[in-house]
A and B are shown apart, each in its own frame.
Chain A
């Protein structure tokens, strides 16, 4: 079975590292890449890299998370976007869902919480891919 390829977009190095270490626990299933801004994520995508799921923060220097979501939705519709944010209110959750994110993880999260959400999204992706 192919590994699920994840991209973490967050300007906080400690969040990047937390994610890497969390998913390292299940390294047989996940492959994790991290970048610090929306622009870097965009550059990777333009360079031809493809990800199954992109987990992005909303409030970052440069390209805001919501804009990144919109770009991914239009150019790479096969990639799912999950929002991770420290500014977690219901209102923001509703907004990011409207922008095209498939799920929402408020910071701080436990490894179990992020696994649950990512697994859930991944299973949907597989079911979508498999019929082809």
Chain B
């Protein structure tokens, strides 16, 4: 039994997924149950009906038997036995369903019959119509109803028939009758055997059977077709969509939105799934945005194009990168970000302390060297003392830079047109000696939304980036400053708007190993007397305190582009 069950299970497992689905199983189960129900009901109804119809036939046979008995009695007593044969033929002829009517005497000889050819034939006691009584050793005198009925096949064998054996008993009138045919000692005078056709019953039953089958078929279709439709519409379709969506997401395609077909469980499930996807996308976009300026991504991709784009990998369209890539990048960038902020924080505290302590001895050095310089008499003395004074001043600048870097002041943000700050910085620097051979190209979008920034700090950042650009170009080249609006679409909330300022130079470019450490404090590529390595880390700190982002894209020999993005002020600026 269990082996069989297992075999069926195995069979089911080899079917195509659709046929293994819950809906198909349910459909098949309901269909099978329905067929079984219809068959059982039909069978039971037909049986009941057959029994009733046969009962009717029996009752009518019994009535006929009574009638014939009475007629026989009347003819016998009236002494007109010759008329009996005629009368039997007449009764048989007038009563529907009578196939044969025979009257036996005590010896088993047919005395009267509807079939004249068998008249006079003698039947043994073992004949089918006789065994009812003569089957036992002592013949029964009174036949019970069950034993008096025999199911037989009609003479021509075409249909079923039923036969009834009815005993005709001796009566006082018969014994006393003048011709003394029946002596008073005899109990049973003869046997009446009636055969009734069941053709009509069979016809009715087969007609009903046909009706039941028609009705059952119609009921089956009426139930199964809508059931199939309902199952498909409310189960197969939404579940299929859900499964497809989940499979797509598991392959890394985050655009896979599930159609919401219904408002109940599956609809709610699909809706929740879509909301979850939207959130996931938003988080990734947001994370991506926080840590990656598109410029950075482009830069990285072009630097290593083959990585992370194995064939068959789905690309998250809106992001232009795969799910795995984004995940890895977020991980890497988060790590870098944490390291950077820890570095900045500890360096900030350290530098503040050092600055204060170093300034005191520097005061003495600067004071006395300056005093001595005033009193210097020989050119050599003067030159040497000048070196001490200048170098001490350089120390002072380094310490001042450290202090500036450690400053964790909250920016005093006011609504500002970013272009104004750019123009102010450009105006100031344009006349500096280091910018004399640099062409400054401004592509400023006049329709930019305003940003909430600390003007002084932003000014400082822009100046710093421009001076860096000038140094990178060896004071000769083109510096392009572009301001533009960037809209990051969001599927859930309002789109986020950023104001971007891009400083592009035609300088020497930045090698990859430098790119990684570019914003680290004290990291510099300039000569010993030129930079402290704090400029970009100060810029980084300022932009981060403005909830913005600073990113760089560069390749050696191809210049560099620094992109600063700041969140645009939302609406309140009019």
Contact = CB atoms under 8 A, between A and B. Distances in A.
Interface of A: 12, 14-15, 17-19, 21-22, 25, 59, 86-89, 91, 106-112
A26 B370 CA distance: 15
B545 to A, nearest CB: 14
Leading 9 A-B pairs by shortest Cβ distance: A86-B359, A108-B362, A18-B367, A108-B363, A107-B359, A108-B366, A14-B364, A86-B356, A12-B360
B365 to A, nearest CB: 7
Interface stretch (B44-52, B129-137, B221-229, B401-409): B401-409
A87 B392 CA distance: 17
Given A25-B371, A87-B356, A108-B396, A14 B361 contact: yes
Given A25-B371, A91-B409, A110 B366 contact: yes
B368 interface: yes
A109 B400 CA distance: 12
B352 interface: yes
**B352, B356, B358 — which one has the most chain A CB atoms within 10 A of its CB?**
B356
Given A110-B389, A111-B370, A59 B363 contact: no
A108 B365 contact: yes
A21 B364 CA distance: 10
20 contacts: A12-B360, A12-B363, A14-B361, A14-B363, A17-B364, A18-B364, A22-B367, A22-B371, A86-B355, A86-B360, A87-B359, A106-B359, A106-B400, A107-B362, A108-B359, A108-B363, A108-B366, A109-B363, A111-B371, A111-B374
A91 B404 CA distance: 10
B44 to A, nearest CB: 100
B572 interface: no
Interface string B186-220: 00000000000000000000000000000000000
B156 interface: no
Contacts of B359: 86-88, 106-108
Given A18-B368, A21-B368, A86-B357, A91 B363 contact: no
Interface in B17-55: none
Nearest to B356: A86
Interface residues of B, number: 27
Given A22-B371, A25-B371, A110-B367, A87 B352 contact: yes
Interface of B: 352, 355-368, 370-371, 374, 389, 392, 395-396, 400, 403-404, 407, 409
A53 to B, nearest CB: 18
Contacts of B396: 108
B399 to A, nearest CB: 8
Contacts of A106: 359, 400
Contact of B370 (A89, A91, A110): A110
Given A59-B356, A110-B389, A111-B370, A87 B363 contact: no
Contacts of A14: 360-361, 363-364
A51 B403 CA distance: 32
Nearest to A84: B363
Given A87-B355, A88-B400, 17 more contacts: A12-B360, A14-B361, A14-B364, A17-B364, A18-B368, A21-B371, A25-B371, A86-B356, A91-B409, A107-B363, A108-B360, A108-B363, A108-B364, A108-B365, A110-B367, A110-B370, A110-B389
Nearest to A87: B356
